[in-house]
Structures are given as structure tokens and as C-alpha cells.
Amino acid sequence: MDAFFVSVYLLGHPEDVGQAVAVGGSPDGRGVITSASYEARQFGVRSAMPARRALRLCPHLKIVRSDWRRIRDCSKLVRFILSQHGPMEPMSVDEAYVDLTGRRDPERLAADIQRQVKADTHLPASVGLATSKLVAKVASDHGKPEGCVIVPPGTESDFLAPMPVRVILGIGPRTAERLAEIGIETCGQLADADPERLAGSFGRHGRRLPERARGIDRRSVNPKRGPARSISGERTFGKDIDDRNELHEQLRKLSARVGRSLRRRELVARTVFVKFRWSDFTTFTRRHTLEAPIDGDDEIFEQAAALWDEHWPSGQRVRLMGVGVANLLSNREARQMFLEL
DNA sequence: TCTGGGGTCCTAGGACCC
DNA sequence: TCTGGGGTCCTAGGACCC
């Protein structure tokens, strides 16, 4: 989906269509931009940018909060439409793969699906059609907004060759920087690199990079999502906090939020973790695993508070606090475990 | 002008067991 | 005399994604 959160907002606010609009947090506090309209992007506004900075780049920018209910509803509808056309694997709230293997005239089908999404949701989407997930994703990004990019079989390598290595899913800023240090900046250069040499400096993952850069990716579309592996909540405070009571109060709120989410999904957890971020941005986590799984707000808070008190130097100013659970089991699995014990 | 929030996966070291 | 070897679980950090 294109500028998804902003597009969803505009559904309910047609008067703002064509304006520089962004979804994000408060520019007075420590909010960042989540999604920016293409008009806002012309001013350099990007997601993950501090809202304050976005406003400086684009003084007339309208920043609005995200409407999660509406976003979820739109996401569900898009997924439903896609799933009518083949096995569908959701990647995130606004991206999914559909397997059209064996379908007649997939080029036309891709364009039809895009039109159907627009007609039924009134939301703009981009489509990429290719022989693998990796290339389809690059193609889809390449045509934004409202693009429909088809990469015919056999042309994957040529399609990717001129592009920066960053377009490949899994190559982030860190890997791109390290590749640049050895003179590799484009997919074409990466495709020609020696896999063994890359394995030397990038480990197991490195050996596969040249084939990835050629568009070779045998991963299939997998519609079955595994169960959640962790659930967490975190909060960056508007102002750093150093008062123990206030910190405990926040810890209790976050624990309750995590607990609710856990129970709604009918899961229990054996591990509780807390996340710390001091004023100077030093960040770390501490965790504890229990013998028996839990799902209650008070139980989560009790564990979180013990970890917190153990690692929070009294008086240390806190910028962010997080609480999470991992080692998740379904209620059924937990019952089974209990019987075995 | 400092830098959100929700996740996943991988790596590496240490404890512990046989 | 130096210091096996494999498997599993746990912790912590880091890269990456949207």
C-alpha cells in the first residue's frame, strides 16, 4: 500500500487530499513521522524522522495521529481481496505476497488485483510481479506510488543490476556500509562478488548475497503465519523520569497492556523482559524465565518490577521504559505441560 | 533538532547434563 | 598429563523490517 497510514486518514478527511500531510507523534514532544503524503515527501519529510524536524522542513505540514482501528480494518479488507486470488502471505500491516504460479495471464491479473483494491478500498496500492518474492518486492517499491511493475522471467538480474544493494530485503544500513567499504554499491557489483569472500566477512548470510543480487530467491509464499514469539509495549516519556514511584506506575501500565494482549490471544508466557533507555540513549534489556507460564497483569508486573529494581540505579533518568513477554505458549500447550508436570 | 514502537531472526557465550 | 564432545536452554545484543 502507498503511504498507507496517510491514505487511510485521507479516506475520512477528503478536504486534506493533495496537501502535505503526515501521520506521526507530537512535534512538541519526542514524536516521529510514521507515514508522509507524497506532497510532504517533496519537502524531504520521511517516516522515522522526528516530527519537529519534519515541521522545520515543511512548516505547513499537517501532522495527525494514526487511527489504528481504521488502519486494521483497511488492512483486513486488502488481505481479504488478495486472498481471493491465490495463497496470500501478509508481510506487515500494509504489504503481502500473493502466489500466482500457474495462473493464466498473470500480468493482466496483477493489474486487475490492483484495480480491485482501489475500487473496493479507495486506497492506492503498488504491485510488483516477478518470479520470486525478493524481486516482486523490489518491483513493487520501484513503481510507487500506484505503480504496476512487471519483471519478466529471465530479466531479474538485469532489472536489479543498476540498483543500490539496499533494495534487497535484509540488506540494511549496516551491511550496505560494509559492502561499500569493499567497493560494492550496486546489485550488479554484488552479483559478481565472490560468495566465499563475502562469507568470510558476513558469515553464513554473506554467501547467499550474490545470488540474491541476481534475483535468485527460492522462498515460497507461505500463507500460514506462525504464532507470535513475543509481545511487548514500550513508552518514550515526554520528559525523562527519575522518580521511582512514577516509574513503577508506568511499569504497571505497560505490564497491564502486555497482559491484556497476551490473554486476548489466549497465550501464556514463561519469560518477562524489561527494556531501559537512559537520557544519554544507552539502551539495554534484562530478562527472566520462569518455570511456570503466566498471563496476569500482576504477575507480569511483579517480574518486571523485580528486574527493574535490580538494574535501575536509583535516580538514573529514564527516557524509555519497555515491558515484554516471550517464550509464549498457547493455553492448550500450557495445560499439556501442566499435566506432564 | 536528537533519535517511536512493534516485531523477527541471528549470533555468541555460559550453564548444565549426559 | 591438562582441559572430550554434543545437545539444550537461557541471556544479551545487534541487524533488520515496516
Nucleotide nearest to A285 (CA to C1'): C12
How many other C-beta atoms are found inside a 10 Å radius of the C-beta of residue A244? 13
**Which pLDDT does position A341 carry in this prediction?**
55
Question: What would you measure as the largest C-alpha separation in chain A, in angstroms?
Answer: 67
Q: Which three cell numbers stand for residue A211?
A: 545470488
In this structure, of A31-40, A144-153, A192-201, A303-312, the range with the lowest mean pLDDT score is A192-201
Nucleic acid strand B: bases within 7 A of protein CB: 1-12
A91 touches strand C (CB under 7 A): yes
**Which pLDDT does position A124 carry in this prediction?**
98
Identify the band that residue A170 occupies on the pLDDT scale cut at 50, 70 and 90.
very high
In this structure, of A53-67, A72-86, A158-172, A190-204, the range with the lowest mean pLDDT score is A190-204
The pairing of beta strand A21-24 with beta strand A62-64: parallel
Q: Which of A97, A118, A91, A174 is nearest to A2 (CA)?
A: A118
Identify the band that residue A165 occupies on the pLDDT scale cut at 50, 70 and 90.
very high
Q: Looking at the predicted structure, is the pLDDT value of residue A53 above 90?
A: yes
Give the mean model confidence (pLDDT) for residues A163-176: 96
- What is the distance between the alpha carbons of residues A176 and A190, in angstroms, rounded to a whole number? 11
**Which pLDDT does position A200 carry in this prediction?**
83
**Which pLDDT does position A202 carry in this prediction?**
87
A95 is a catalytic site residue: yes
Nucleotide nearest to A258 (CA to C1'): B6
Q: Which residue is nearest to nucleotide B11 (CA to C1')?
A: A203
* pTM exceeds 0.85: yes
Cβ atoms A67, A12 nearer than 8 A: yes
- What is the distance between the alpha carbons of residues A338 and A341, in angstroms, rounded to a whole number? 5
Give the mean model confidence (pLDDT) for residues A315-340: 91
Residue-wise pLDDT for A244-256, tens only, equals: 999 999 999 999 9
Give the mean model confidence (pLDDT) for residues A251-276: 98
Q: Which of residues 249-278 of A touch strand C (CB under 7 A)?
A: 270-271, 273
Q: Looking at the predicted structure, is the pLDDT value of residue A56 above 80?
A: yes
A339 touches strand B (CB under 7 A): no
A152 upstream amide cis, omega within 30 of 0 = no
N- to C-terminal Cα separation, chain A: 48
> What's the Å distance between residue A274 CA and nucleotide B11 C1'?
21
Q: Is A25 helix (H, G, I), strand (E, B) or coil?
A: coil
The pairing of beta strand A127-129 with beta strand A230-241: unpaired
Q: Which three cell numbers stand for residue A275?
A: 527494556
Per-residue DSSP letter, A227: P
Give the mean model confidence (pLDDT) for residues A208-232: 95
Active-site pick, A15, A39, A95, A340: A95
> What's the Å distance between residue A81 CA and nucleotide C10 C1'?
43
Give the mean model confidence (pLDDT) for residues A209-234: 95
Residue-wise pLDDT for A137-152, tens only, equals: 999 999 999 999 999 9
**Residue percentage of chain A with pLDDT more than 90:** 93
Distances (CA, A) of A108 to A104, A113, A148, A150: 9, 9, 10, 10
A48 touches strand C (CB under 7 A): yes
Give the mean model confidence (pLDDT) for residues A171-200: 95
Residue-wise pLDDT for A109-140, tens only, equals: 999 999 999 999 999 999 999 999 999 999 99
Rounded to the nearest integer, the mean pLDDT of chain A is: 96
Residues 6+ apart with CB under 8 A from A88: A79, A82, A96, A97, A98, A99, A221, A223
A66 touches strand C (CB under 7 A): no
Nucleotide nearest to A273 (CA to C1'): C11
**Which pLDDT does position A177 carry in this prediction?**
95
Give the mean model confidence (pLDDT) for residues A214-219: 96
**Which pLDDT does position A25 carry in this prediction?**
95
In this structure, of A108-122, A145-159, A297-311, A324-338, the range with the lowest mean pLDDT score is A324-338
